[in-house]
Amino acid sequence: MNAEQLRVIVVGGGKIGAALAALVLERGHEVTIVEADHSRAEVLAESVEGVRVVTGDGCEPVVLELAGIERADSVAAVTGDDEDNLVVCLLARRHYRVQTTSARVNDPRNEWLFTERFGVDHALSGTRRLARLVMREIESG
């Protein structure tokens, strides 16, 4: 393992989680996806080459430990539930002292919660970002 290689945990194995994991691997880092749904976890293990998949609730300390959170450099919480993403970041930062955390904001109304208070370094709201991009297209005709 070279010095640049990061250990990344992705919580939530939906479309975003899968795409993110593939990107992480492409950049030569190590990635583990945590996915609660068994059949979805199986699909991920088969479809994303080189990925490690842990099945379980990512808000559960035991599951995060199985995923290797104690040695992780970065955690990304990208489930479809804002409270779950917040709790993952909170645990990652304040309980496991993970260096960097990123979280997906599902409902723009919850964006105000995604701050250092919950251990969130980077909050990403797909909805808001997309809306902004579409608006730009509209205005540019």
Partner 1 sequence: MGVLVASRLALDAHEVAVIDQDPDAFRLLGAGFGGTTHVGKVFDRATLVAAGIERADAFVAVTSGDNSNIVSSIVAKDEFGVPKVIARIYDPRRAEIYRRLGISAVSSVMWAANEIRALLGHPGLAEEKTFGDAEVRLVSAVVPPRLAGRTVRELERPGEVVVAAVVRSGAAWVPTGGEELMLDDEIHVAVASSAFAHFEEVVAP
Interaction site with partner 1 (CB under 8 A): 59-62, 81, 83-84, 86-87, 90-91, 94-95, 109-110, 112-113, 117-118
The C-alpha torsion from 1 through 13 and 75 to 26, rounded to 10°, is: 30
CB of 66 to partner 1, least distance (A): 14
Choose between 61 and 126: whose C-beta lies nearer to partner 1.
Answer: 61
CB of 81 to partner 1, least distance (A): 7
Helix or strand holding residue 10 (H, E): strand 7-11
Which of 112, 116, 52, 57 has the alpha carbon at shortest distance from 89? 116
What does each C-alpha distance from 57 to 5, 26, 31, 54, 82 come to in angstroms? 26, 26, 17, 9, 14
CB of 30 to partner 1, least distance (A): 26
Residues 21 and 10 sit within 8 Å (Cβ to Cβ): yes
Choose between 27 and 94: whose C-beta lies nearer to partner 1.
Answer: 94
CB of 116 to partner 1, least distance (A): 10
Choose between 75 and 118: whose C-beta lies nearer to partner 1.
Answer: 118
Choose between 9 and 118: whose C-beta lies nearer to partner 1.
Answer: 118
DSSP assignment of 99-137: SEEEEEESSGGGGGG-SGGGT-SEEEEHHHHHHHHHHHH
